[in-house]
A and B are shown apart, each in its own frame.
Chain A
Amino acid sequence: MALEQALEKWTGKITEVTIGATREEGGTRSAKVVAGGESTLPFLTFEGEVPHQPVIAGEILDRYPEEWPSPLREAFGEDLKDPAAWARRWVEGYGAQLLCLRLASTAPDAGDASPEQAAATVRRVLEAVGAPLIILGSEDVEKDNAIFPKVAEAAAGERCFLGVVTKDNYKSIAAAAMLHGHGLIAQAPVDVNIQKQTNILLLEFGVKKDSILMDPTTGGLGYGLEYTYSVMERLRLGALQGEAQVAVPLILFPGAEAWRSKEAKESTQDSPRWGEQETRGVLWEILTGTNSLQAGGDILVCRHPEAAAALRRHVAELLV
């Protein structure tokens, strides 16, 4: 009995966003990464195109992450002490094609590194690896506005993505990004309306649509995912139904979200009924990621290399 497929007719398409620039394009990256381009819901290849696999990126910090739970720290060992070594480990050891550098030490209450120091760190990481780079500040508004002009200049032409910008703070970072050929991460606090407004403000400011990624603020598994899942899904559905201003790729941070949770941090001895911490913590990150993928995620930034590897295998399985 032939079954007539139930298909949707989507009118929208997610904008393709390229991260990284090779030598021919004015940068020094050995390869670039393309995200977005879908004209269908996640992995539903029967009614539209999924031209690019969702990208699994590795996260690095510009300082030693002493507060991270032990399974995370053990995965990188001594390399955590040097962002360049850490970056190399992700790329050479764990096959990452995209990196996300968090300039945590620029936070005024956690090192207060200067814009020049931040720029130097970015240079070091860019020189250490050929992978394209996403660069996050400390989310301290004034400090981010101070560091990003220097950071953007230090990475000029590399087509990095800088973030985050919000509807209340985007102008100086966006100006720096446009001047030096970078893209932006538009963040909104778990709110489809503010996300759309933020994107509109950036577009009106002159940012090109192919230079925006949106971060709707993901909750971790068990810690807000019940809200963020539907926020992501609504944004993606809106985009496919033709709402151009939200038709940009979604970037999500399952690593950062998952490893803040008690279930990932608690040791095996402290919570024996929860099973092994390492398994549990990595799975917390993986499942935060798999749900983000089902809701429309295009770029997932991971912390544990095993989670990144598992999500890469998972993405491949979803496209078979």
Chain B
Amino acid sequence: MLLVGERINGLFKDVAQAIQDHDPEPIQKLALEQTAAGAAYLDINTGPAVDEPEKVMPWLVKTVEEVVDTPLCIDSAKIPGLRAGLEAVSRSRPMINSTTAEPAHLEAYLPLAKAHGALLIGLAMNRRGVPKDAADRAGLAMEIVVAADAAGFPIEDLFIDPLVLPVNVGQEHGPEVLETLRQVKCLADPAPHTIVGLSNVSQKCPHRSLLNRTFLAMAMAAGLDAAIVDVEDRELVHTAAASRVLLNQVIYSDAFLENR
């Protein structure tokens, strides 16, 4: 299970403030803390307040790379921001967050990912939005897979995100996401990887940690390979460790909680 730390994102007030102040310290602290907590990747997003992410992204990447070797997940809704982030990465193999199944997106993102040797997250949505059921989500995933195959992009470097919606507004999406995860594994051989932005499931709900970790265990059983999460939620990280053992993905030992 690949855990991607979600905290270096301008959506969070402390990060937005640090970006505004050009203050590396809070960013570096988050990088170190998330790495220590078990993050295999760190999501880097300048946040909605930044108009020109390409101006901030290189600074964020360098700031983080000064203190950790953890690979980075460059997260931006705009191509220039992504490109600037990817170009700034020097330590390890980055991940791109993200393309959709929209042909114009695929045409832009696949070559970019290939050029940077990056992993690519593909969202199972298009300009019509997030589909309601699993069949349509898997259909969009298939379109991403076919496009990747045609572009010569390795399918196993693709991470399909079936898109998790908050349970308090989109309860019916939960089982559909789980079914999509199962179907994605039949799309190609080797199959694409799967990823979700987990915390979205509990937006504006009480007991967020409980909802997050419960859904994580369910999704792992359905074939989830990676998740963008709050890695400082110890219960959640422990749930991932327990699930890996229960799914026979790693050799059990009495110290399995330490086993990431």
Any A–B CB pair closer than 8 Å? yes
Q: Collect the chain A residues with CB atoms within 8 Å of residue B259's CB.
A: 243, 245
Q: Collect the chain B residues with CB atoms within 8 Å of residue A245's CB.
A: 253, 259
Bits for B219-260, please: 1 = Cβ < 8 Å to A, else 0.
Answer: 000000000000000000000000000000011111100110
The stretch among A144-152, A191-199, A250-258, A283-291 that forms the contact with chain B is A191-199
- Measured in the bound complex, the distance between the Cα atoms of B257 and A245 in whole Å is 13
Interface contact A246-B255, CB-CB below 8 Å: no
- Measured in the bound complex, the distance between the Cα atoms of B255 and A63 in whole Å is 40
Interface contact A200-B255, CB-CB below 8 Å: yes
Interface contact A234-B255, CB-CB below 8 Å: no
Interface contact A234-B251, CB-CB below 8 Å: yes
Closest to A241 in B: B250
Q: Collect the chain A residues with CB atoms within 8 Å of residue B255's CB.
A: 196-197, 200-201, 204
Q: How far is the CB of B101 from chain A (nearest CB, A)?
A: 26
Closest to B190 in A: A9
Interface contact B251-A246, CB-CB below 8 Å: yes
* Residue from B251, B254, B258 in contact with A192 in the complex, judged by beta carbons closer than 8 Å: B251
Q: How far is the CB of A203 from chain B (nearest CB, A)?
A: 10
Is A27 positioned at the interface, with any CB of B under 8 Å from its CB? no
Q: Collect the chain B residues with CB atoms within 8 Å of residue A201's CB.
A: 255
Interface footprint category on A: 10 to 19
Q: Collect the chain B residues with CB atoms within 8 Å of residue A235's CB.
A: 251
Interface contact B258-A243, CB-CB below 8 Å: no
Closest to A237 in B: B251
Q: Collect the chain B residues with CB atoms within 8 Å of residue A193's CB.
A: 251-254
Interface contact B251-A196, CB-CB below 8 Å: yes
- Measured in the bound complex, the distance between the Cα atoms of B253 and A233 in whole Å is 17
Q: Collect the chain B residues with CB atoms within 8 Å of residue A238's CB.
A: 250-251
Interface footprint category on B: under 10
Q: How far is the CB of A165 from chain B (nearest CB, A)?
A: 16
Q: Collect the chain A residues with CB atoms within 8 Å of residue B254's CB.
A: 193, 197
- Measured in the bound complex, the distance between the Cα atoms of B251 and A234 in whole Å is 8
Closest to A199 in B: B253
Q: Collect the chain B residues with CB atoms within 8 Å of residue A200's CB.
A: 253, 255, 258
- Measured in the bound complex, the distance between the Cα atoms of B252 and A243 in whole Å is 11
Closest to B254 in A: A197
- Measured in the bound complex, the distance between the Cα atoms of B254 and A200 in whole Å is 9
Interface contact B250-A197, CB-CB below 8 Å: no
Q: Collect the chain A residues with CB atoms within 8 Å of residue B258's CB.
A: 200
- Measured in the bound complex, the distance between the Cα atoms of B162 and A318 in whole Å is 46
- Measured in the bound complex, the distance between the Cα atoms of B253 and A204 in whole Å is 14
- Mark out the residues of chain A between 151 and 209 whose CB falls within 8 Å of any chain B CB in the assembled complex: 192-194, 196-197, 200-201, 204
- Measured in the bound complex, the distance between the Cα atoms of B260 and A243 in whole Å is 9
Q: How far is the CB of B15 from chain A (nearest CB, A)?
A: 30
- Measured in the bound complex, the distance between the Cα atoms of B259 and A93 in whole Å is 47
Q: Collect the chain A residues with CB atoms within 8 Å of residue B251's CB.
A: 192-193, 196, 234-235, 238, 243, 246
- Measured in the bound complex, the distance between the Cα atoms of B251 and A196 in whole Å is 8
Q: Collect the chain B residues with CB atoms within 8 Å of residue A196's CB.
A: 251-253, 255
Q: Collect the chain B residues with CB atoms within 8 Å of residue A192's CB.
A: 251-252
Closest to B245 in A: A193
- Measured in the bound complex, the distance between the Cα atoms of B252 and A197 in whole Å is 8
Bits for A214-256, please: 1 = Cβ < 8 Å to B, else 0.
Answer: 0000000000000000000011001000010110000000000
Q: Collect the chain A residues with CB atoms within 8 Å of residue B253's CB.
A: 193-194, 196-197, 200, 245
Q: How far is the CB of A198 from chain B (nearest CB, A)?
A: 9
Q: How far is the CB of B25 from chain A (nearest CB, A)?
A: 31
Q: How far is the CB of B207 from chain A (nearest CB, A)?
A: 33
Q: How far is the CB of A207 from chain B (nearest CB, A)?
A: 15
Q: Collect the chain A residues with CB atoms within 8 Å of residue B252's CB.
A: 192-193, 196
Closest to A201 in B: B255
- Measured in the bound complex, the distance between the Cα atoms of B241 and A243 in whole Å is 13
Q: Collect the chain B residues with CB atoms within 8 Å of residue A234's CB.
A: 251
Bits for A12-28, please: 1 = Cβ < 8 Å to B, else 0.
Answer: 00000000000000000
Q: How far is the CB of B2 from chain A (nearest CB, A)?
A: 11
- Measured in the bound complex, the distance between the Cα atoms of B253 and A197 in whole Å is 5
- Measured in the bound complex, the distance between the Cα atoms of B255 and A167 in whole Å is 12
Q: How far is the CB of A278 from chain B (nearest CB, A)?
A: 40
Q: How far is the CB of A118 from chain B (nearest CB, A)?
A: 32
- Measured in the bound complex, the distance between the Cα atoms of B253 and A245 in whole Å is 10
- Measured in the bound complex, the distance between the Cα atoms of B250 and A243 in whole Å is 7
Q: How far is the CB of A282 from chain B (nearest CB, A)?
A: 35
Count chain A CB atoms within 10 A of each CB in B250, B253, B258 and give the residue with the most.
B253
**Given A193-B251, A200-B255, A238-B250, 5 other A-B contacts at CB below 8 A?**
A193-B252, A196-B253, A235-B251, A238-B251, A243-B250
The 7 closest A-B pairs by CB, nearest first: A196-B253, A197-B253, A200-B255, A193-B252, A238-B251, A197-B254, A196-B251
Pairs across A and B, CB under 8 Å, 23 listed:
A192-B251, A193-B251, A193-B252, A193-B253, A193-B254, A194-B253, A196-B255, A197-B253, A197-B254, A197-B255, A200-B253, A200-B255, A200-B258, A204-B255, A234-B251, A235-B251, A238-B250, A238-B251, A243-B250, A243-B251, A245-B253, A245-B259, A246-B251
